[in-house]
Structure 1
C-alpha cells in the first residue's frame, strides 16, 4: 500500500526511538513526514505545514496528548485533521477517543497495524 502523492503526516512523540522507527517506515511508504518532539507552538506549526494526518502519543513530556487533541478538535482551523493517538496505557483507548481522537493505536503495535490505521484515517 503506497502513500497517495504528497500526503503529509505529522508525528508528535518525545520518544526518539519511536519517532525514528515511525518516520523511517512511513517515509519508505512514500509519506512526507514531519516530526515534533513537543507541542510548543504547535498551532503555529500546523498553520505553516498543514498535515493530512497527525500521529500523536498520549503522554508527552510536559503535555497531555488528550488535552492537545481536545484543543485541536475545538479549533475550526484544525478540527478536520484526523488524529491517531498511540499509547501503551491500559485505559488509553477510551480516554483518547473521548478526547476527540479519530483513531487509536495501542503500543506495542506492528507496522501492518500502523499502515492500516493510517490508510483508514486518510
Structure 2
C-alpha cells in the first residue's frame, strides 16, 4: 500500500522562497500548499488540512508569532507541528514565544529543511 503524501502548508510573503520550497518539497515527496499572508490563519489551515506548517516570522498582517499562538490556542490545531523560520538571529527565542515545535534559520539548507519537515510529520 502506498503511503499518503504528507501535506505542508507554507506561510511566507516571499514569492521566491515559496517557489523554491515548493519545488524542493514536491520533489521530496510532499504535497505543498502556500499562503502569502496569515490573515484568518485558522480557517486557512482548516481548508488545507496540512500535516505540518512552515511559518515565516515576518508574515503579514500579524506576524508569525501571533499566527502561531492563534493556532496553538485552537483546540483543533494545537497539536499540529509548526516549523518556524526566520532570518532573525533570535530565532530560537522567537519560536519559543510563538509556541512553535521546531525552527530553522534562513538562509537554510534545503536538505535540512526536508529532514526537519519529515521529523515534524513523524511525530504528529
Q: TM-score, normalised by structure 1?
A: 0.91
Matched with 2:108 is 109
Matched with 2:44 is 45
Aligned-pair Cα RMSD in Å: 1.2
Q: Deviations over 1:66-104 (max 9, x none)?
A: 111011001111111100000011112212123200000
Segments ≥4 residues shifted beyond 6 Å: none
Q: Deviations over 1:28-59 (max 9, x none)?
A: 11111000001123212222221000001011
Does residue 56 in structure 1 map to residue 55 in structure 2? Answer: yes
Matched with 1:89 is 88
Q: TM-score, normalised by structure 2?
A: 0.90
Distance in 1 between residues matched to 2:105 and 2:90, nearest whole Å = 10
Q: Which runs of 5+ in 1 are unaligned?
A: none
Change (3 A) 1:44 1:61: closer
Q: Which runs of 5+ in 2 are unaligned?
A: none
Matched with 2:69 is 70
Distance in 2 between residues matched to 1:65 and 1:44, nearest whole Å = 16
Any idea what SS the aligned residue of 1:14 has? Answer: coil
Aligned positions, number: 119
Matched with 2:26 is 27
Distance in 2 between residues matched to 1:95 and 1:10, nearest whole Å = 20
Distance in 2 between residues matched to 1:16 and 1:47, nearest whole Å = 23
Distance in 2 between residues matched to 1:9 and 1:96, nearest whole Å = 18
